[in-house]
Amino acid sequence: MQSAKEEISPTVPIEYSGKWIAWSADHMRIVSSSDSLHEARQKAFDLGENEPWMDKVPHRTIRFGGSAFRA
């Protein structure tokens, strides 16, 4: 049985540059945003989204480099 073509999450608009955002449970809508992870999550809860997906949006001009770890 083939499944229906899945919907792809929308592109994150540039206005959310560098912010934490909360996606809806189905990944199709940005419910809230903030500079702080806690605040973005709390806003989502307050708006009735109990299972938000928290996402750190890339900055509009600053790119993310690789990381190295030393234990």
- Least Cβ distance, residue 20 to other proteins (angstroms): 7
- Residue with the two structure tokens 């955002």: 21
24 touching other proteins, by CB under 8 A: no
Q: Residue 31: which of 58, 61, 51, 14 has the closest Cα?
A: 51
d(C-alpha 68, C-alpha 10), whole Å? 31
Binding other proteins (rule: CB under 8 A), the pick from 2, 11, 30, 46 is 11
Asked if 43 is part of the footprint of other proteins (rule: CB under 8 A), the reply reads no
CA 23 to the chain's CA centroid = 5
Q: Does residue number 55 form part of the binding site for other proteins (CB under 8 A)? A: yes
Say whether residue 38 binds other proteins (CB under 8 A): yes
